[in-house]
Structure 1
Amino acid sequence: MLKAISLFTGAGGLDLGFEAAGFKTRVAVEMDHVCCETLRLNRRWSVIEDDLRVVTSKHLLKTAQLAPGEADILIGGPPCQPFSKNGYWANGDAPRLNDPNADTLNEYLRVVRDTQPKTLLLENVYGLAYAGKSEGLDRILDGIRDINKKAKTRYAPVWAVLDAAGYGVPQRRERIFLIASRDGREFKFPQPTHGESSVDQLTTALQPFHTAWDALGDLPQRLNDVDLQLTGKWADLLPSIPEGQNYLWHTPRGRGLPLFGWRTRYWSFLLKLSKHKPSWTIQAQPGPATGPFHWTNRKLSARELARLQTFPNDFKFDCDRSEVQRMVGNAVPSLLAEILAREIRRQLLDAPLRSQKLKLMPPHRRIAPRRHSVAPVHGTYLSLKGAHAEHPGVRLGPRARLRAAELADQ
């Protein structure tokens, strides 16, 4: 098997996809104890449980039993909260590289410099490349140029923002991927294979998106697990929202009752899966009213979360459900990693796989059952019925105005 070094491994979403494509993780570095225990439960990889900032490259290579230049690939998704969508809106024009959490980019580059893998893959939130706010991406590109100059390597990084649903994952999830080869070969990202509308499929030969039903249809629908029951102020309102909808159903532009103003809440507020569409992005640390929720008005189980992230069916968890959601919500969909790993083998490592069959691709199931019926609005919420102002627009909401005022006072 080809040899991989894994940084910021988490629960191993990237690694599991590369494993499906014939790579073996020789060493994984992860500081979160629950993630490390989950990795050890499932795979016999060498796991260094520590902060990468205190793990020397020498120790990393020794654990992997590799010399500099021997690794076929270095993979990792440095956790970069300053570049997330939430960070973007919360921090506005603040220079995000000044955030201490952005140091993870420098640590990734340090390991590239010291281990000189044949290829590398870096995954991150797409906010890393926001127009006018791409200092994180620029730092990576500048760092790789500096490595090339000093180490006489020829890494030629290319990057793209990919939506996992376009490659067969039953989840809409946009992330940036950067890939480079030490010998200067340029990587070409594979084109999407799946699309939404029948028109798209006819004109571009795309297969239909894999849906939440494709991922979950063979699992029990009704679960009595108390950990899956909704809690909090809005728990009794979810049954009145149809599957595939969110709180916007109960706005003046929706077809429910006018309980909220249009776009005055975050998109995932009371968001419910549709059997006929991919899931929306799984959140790592959702609030009590943050979806997506199951169409039977409950939280998603650990197995359902793993299915939507295309983890292998044999992958096990030995922790509470909230920890599973955190790990899965931070992971890369393993199917998308498998697809990219196969292309890296073919384009950059001259080691294409003979079989064209993807191991982690979910099936297209039979036609999904009819949508679940909705319940009347619980009496608790009827006092909210009335006229509600719409959100005033981008950068005009209360948080944006408060941030503008704070900047003006500085």
Structure 2
Amino acid sequence: MTKPKIVSIFSGVGGIDFGFEKAGFQTIFASDIWERACESLKMNFKDCEVVCNDVVNVDFKSIRAKHKEIDGLVGGPPCPPFSKSRFYRTEKDRGIDDVDGFTTVSNYFRAVEELQPKFFFFENVHGFVFKPHKAALELVEAESERLGYKIFHRVVNAADYGVAQTRQRFICIGVKKEMEDFKYPEPSHSDPKKNVKGTLPWVTCGDILNDIDFDLPEDEKMQAGSKHKDLLKLVPPGDNYLFFTEERGHPNPIFKWRSRYWSFLLKLSPNRPSWTIQASHSNNMGPFHWKNRFLRIKEIKRIQSFEDEHIFLGSYREQWRQVGNAVPPKLAYAFAQQIKQQYFINNEYKEDQKLDEIRFEVSVD
């Protein structure tokens, strides 16, 4: 069977692409504006045309002409204009009132218009559905309607699809109007406290990190917390700065309730998934390892569900940014597998290949 062809934009290091390729798609074109991410893309996707350029300069008509037919478009426009943190950046506009927000979303749909794919996969932070960003969602709906696509969108939790991270993301799937309605993939995992029948418990940090959780000489230089490093050592695994507040019963409160970002002095627990891995790296903003150190790149790769052999180039901070910016491949895989089975595989092939038995397992070699 010929692999369905996809074009990837705002590709970053290729989190979406790893997931789609694992499900049997082929990324034939990928682009990003950051050179370091493009260098990593080229290392991981040898047979893909990688262009390092602003999306406004990409000629999607020429891509379609070269490949005749494009099956899918995937990508997550940069999320800062729609993120929760933008509520605190009063000097900047939010949503599509922000120049970058409007430019990236509108050019995503320029790509849809010029490529005419059978489907598109649009990802963003869960804040995309917040009321202040209503205009952005209305733009997605209006452009989809204009171009002849029906869309299906919701906020999903990556942990519900086997990622060791409670990362909530807005996922929008668009398909041409003559195609059947998209059916969201059923979650494979759930919060063990909810005891959801037919699902496995969330994958924990201990599950994926314990086999590489050993002390290294350089760990002494990786102690986190900056001037608060002594306080970090007192924070129980799975807690943050709120541990030192009056509301939490601390005998000598140090911080006021909700006076800092949630990630301030945030420490992982081996008994639950990680919180969202951010793109930026900070001395006192976690999550940190329960041993009070910064996470190693190999560890955040696993938390994001990248395989150990996936290559990330650059300095520690550059690699961190690449991983933190990415869509977890395992989350992308769940949607890619659903898209493939609904729209690209006939029943005979599906039965012969038993694709419903395919499992995407993160390498621990």
- TM-score with structure 1 length normalisation? 0.81
Deviation at 1:359, TM superposition (A): 4.3
Which amino acid counterpart does residue 169 of structure 1 have in structure 2?
Answer: V
CA offsets 1:129-178 (integer angstroms, 9 cap, x no match): 11353211111111111222xxxxxx111101000001111001001011
For 1:39 and 1:357, locate their aligned partners in 2 and report how far apart those are by CA, in whole Å.
Answer: 29
Corresponding position: 1:165 with 2:134: no
Deviation at 1:357, TM superposition (A): 4.1
CA contact (8 A) 1:163 1:174 kept: yes
CA offsets 1:253-302 (integer angstroms, 9 cap, x no match): 33554111122111110000000000000011133210000011111111
For 2:14 and 2:145, locate their aligned partners in 1 and report how far apart those are by CA, in whole Å.
Answer: 28
> Aligned pairs, how many?
352
For 1:219 and 1:255, locate their aligned partners in 2 and report how far apart those are by CA, in whole Å.
Answer: 35
Secondary structure, aligned partner of 1:271: coil
Corresponding position: 1:284 with 2:269: no
Partner of 2:207: 214
State which of 147, 153, 156 in structure 1 corresponds to 2:150.
156
Partner of 1:108: 108
- TM-score with structure 2 length normalisation? 0.90
Secondary structure, aligned partner of 1:204: coil
Deviation at 1:31, TM superposition (A): 1.2
Secondary structure, aligned partner of 2:67: coil
Corresponding position: 1:240 with 2:234: yes
Summarize the Cα distance change of 1:249–1:363 in structure 2 as closer, same or farther, 3 Å threshold: farther
Which has more radius of gyration? 1
For 1:215 and 1:221, locate their aligned partners in 2 and report how far apart those are by CA, in whole Å.
Answer: 13
CA contact (8 A) 2:165 2:276 kept: yes
Which amino acid counterpart does residue 26 of structure 2 have in structure 1?
Answer: K
Partner of 1:381: none
Greater shift in the superposed pair: 11-20 or 40-49: 40-49
For 1:297 and 1:168, locate their aligned partners in 2 and report how far apart those are by CA, in whole Å.
Answer: 26
State which of 240, 245, 259 in structure 2 corresponds to 1:264.
259
Which amino acid counterpart does residue 139 of structure 1 have in structure 2?
Answer: L
Indicate the structure with greater helix content.
Answer: 2
Which amino acid counterpart does residue 209 of structure 1 have in structure 2?
Answer: W
Where do 1:302-317 residues align within 5 Å? 302-317=297-312
For 2:159 and 2:5, locate their aligned partners in 1 and report how far apart those are by CA, in whole Å.
Answer: 28
Deviation at 1:94, TM superposition (A): 5.6
CA offsets 1:314-343 (integer angstroms, 9 cap, x no match): 102231111111111111010011110010
Where do 1:289-300 residues align within 5 Å? 289-300=284-295
Which amino acid counterpart does residue 346 of structure 1 have in structure 2?
Answer: Q
Partner of 2:146: 146
Corresponding position: 1:326 with 2:321: yes
CA offsets 1:349-373 (integer angstroms, 9 cap, x no match): 3355623345433599xxxxxxxxx
Deviation at 1:209, TM superposition (A): 0.5
Partner of 2:217: 224
Secondary structure, aligned partner of 2:267: coil
Secondary structure, aligned partner of 1:342: helix
Secondary structure, aligned partner of 1:175: strand
Give RMSD over aligned pairs: 2.2
Deviation at 1:42, TM superposition (A): 1.9
State which of 173, 176, 192 in structure 1 corresponds to 2:170.
176
Which amino acid counterpart does residue 208 of structure 1 have in structure 2?
Answer: P
For 1:53 and 1:133, locate their aligned partners in 2 and report how far apart those are by CA, in whole Å.
Answer: 22
Partner of 1:96: 95
Where do 1:128-143 residues align within 5 Å? 128-131=128-131, 133-143=133-143
Partner of 2:124: 124
For 1:355 and 1:346, locate their aligned partners in 2 and report how far apart those are by CA, in whole Å.
Answer: 8
Greater shift in the superposed pair: 285-294 or 53-62: 53-62
Greater shift in the superposed pair: 284-293 or 80-89: 80-89
CA contact (8 A) 1:270 1:291 kept: yes
CA contact (8 A) 1:119 1:348 kept: no
State which of 225, 239, 244 in structure 2 corresponds to 1:250.
244
Partner of 1:404: none
For 2:161 and 2:300, locate their aligned partners in 1 and report how far apart those are by CA, in whole Å.
Answer: 18
Partner of 2:59: 56
CA contact (8 A) 1:82 1:88 kept: no
Summarize the Cα distance change of 1:165–1:230 in structure 2 as closer, same or farther, 3 Å threshold: same
For 2:285 and 2:63, locate their aligned partners in 1 and report how far apart those are by CA, in whole Å.
Answer: 38
CA contact (8 A) 1:232 1:288 kept: yes
Structure 1, gaps ≥5 residues long: 149-154, 365-410
Partner of 1:66: 67
Q: How many percent of aligned residue pairs carry the same amino acid?
A: 36
Summarize the Cα distance change of 1:160–1:26 in structure 2 as closer, same or farther, 3 Å threshold: same
Partner of 2:30: 28
